[in-house]
Chains A and B, each alone.
Chain A
Amino acid sequence: MEDLAKLLQELPFFAGMSSGDVDEVVSCATTMSFPAGLHLFHEGEPADRFYVVREGRVALEIYVPSKGALSLDSVEPGEIVGLSWLFSPHRWQMDARAVTDLRVVAIDGDCLRNKCDANPRFGYDLMQRLSRVAQQRMHSARLRLLDLYGRAGSDVR
């Protein structure tokens, strides 16, 4: 049986979190693994948990008729998969597929939301961490929208 607390504290997402707070998370967490190719979740399914990648890569995809599954983002070790569990209607907006064999920590969304309600300070800390992820993803998406490598705005070399 792995020491989940130790495992969590080593992940950058939880860096600096007090051991008391880490224990709160541990009580909602479990480890899981997925073989390559398996989906963690599909678009539209209930979003009741999020994942922290320990090993492997996850592709976030949207299925477009006539084009198939288009990968919009990849999630690497140390990063998290899933923000939709935070907000109603609590439904996944994309598919998540294990690109490689995958080991994750799965954290129950209901459980964690209850902890946040009971302990607002813990909730505030968690929200800060999650907001930072959202900010980074938004920035990355915006830069990619500029299509800098395309004909408009690229270099001539």
Chain B
Amino acid sequence: MAPSRYRIGWRRRETADTVTVGLDPVDEALAVFEPGQFAMLYAFGVGEVPISVSASRGGTQLVHTIRDVGAVSHALCAAPEGEVLGVRGPFGTTWSAAGVDVSDLVLVAGGVGLAPLRPVVHQVLGDRHRFGRVSLLLGARSPDLLLYTDELVEWSKFVDVQVTVDHATASWSGNVGVVTELLPRARFDPAATLALVCGPEVMMRFAARALLAAGVAPGRIRVSLERNMKCAYGHCGHCQLAHEFVCKDGAVFPYDRVRPLLEVKEL
């Protein structure tokens, strides 16, 4: 599968190591990317990495938030407006935030894990009456590493947004602590809640446990897992978590399905 060409239409620096880009198709546009799905983004001559969409508002523009952690993501973060990237996709399963018989939504995001959940926030904002109480619990390492800070204010008009940081700075007067500490303060009916969790795997494990302790059924907690990906369609074998191919059976999984697998080391 060869990449389609997309040009960087706009580029916004979010934090010291994270950038969001808006990509417009040069060739025929790819199929619509649903919240939770990801693309393989290609930097010419360098390589590809899997990046979730961080906005899904219709139209042909693709929006991705990329964190600089390696050679490829570094090249993608450094690419200026106008540069052409390669895109393959859409791949993977979706958050499926709507269309379930639940009313309340709890979103738990750690670090750059907020990026794949942002399309869900947009979905809620675009159809607020479809959802009951919606909480966004957001954790970051420090205040300067929070994403989309300008949007958080707008979101908090429609969604209960709670933010915490691991390490405070002198000017920070908000919560300090891990994101799971925000859960007792969120208002939701555990029997009618869908919880979507995204962040480092350890954080997702603990968040899922806290949600279970709060009474949310394991089948109603969804996590977005990450494994090494090369092909993104189940042929290269790299992304296997036991029998699951994270690229096509995930990356979004219901927690009850992956819980026993996540508990075995090196699986």
On A, residues with C-beta under 8 Å from B are: 12, 57, 59-60, 68-74, 76, 78, 99-100, 136, 140, 143-144, 146-151, 153-157
Residues of B within 8 A of A68 (CB): 170
- B176–A74 CB distance below 8 A: yes
Residues of B within 8 A of A74 (CB): 164, 168, 174-177
A38 to chain B, nearest CB (A): 14
B267 within 8 Å of A (CB atoms): no
Residues of A within 8 A of B70 (CB): 156
- A140–B181 CB distance below 8 A: yes
- Option from A12, A136, A144 in Cβ contact (under 8 Å) with B167: A144
- Option from B112, B176, B178 in Cβ contact (under 8 Å) with A155: B112
In angstroms, Cα B65 to Cα A153, docked, is: 19
Known A68-B170, A157-B67, A157-B115; contact A73-B176, beta-carbon cutoff 8 A: yes
- Option from B52, B170, B174, B200 in Cβ contact (under 8 Å) with A154: B200
B206 within 8 Å of A (CB atoms): yes
Return the 9 tightest CB-CB contacts between A and B, nearest first.
A71-B168, A149-B111, A149-B141, A148-B200, A74-B176, A144-B166, A99-B173, A143-B178, A140-B178
B172 within 8 Å of A (CB atoms): yes
Interface positions of B from 183 to 200, Cβ below 8 Å from A? 184-185, 199-200
- B176–A150 CB distance below 8 A: no
- A154–B112 CB distance below 8 A: yes
- Option from A59, A73, A149, A156 in Cβ contact (under 8 Å) with B73: A156
In angstroms, Cα B184 to Cα A78, docked, is: 10
In angstroms, Cα B174 to Cα A73, docked, is: 10
Interface positions of B from 10 to 45, Cβ below 8 Å from A? none
In angstroms, Cα B168 to Cα A68, docked, is: 12
In angstroms, Cα B204 to Cα A153, docked, is: 13
In angstroms, Cα B169 to Cα A68, docked, is: 10
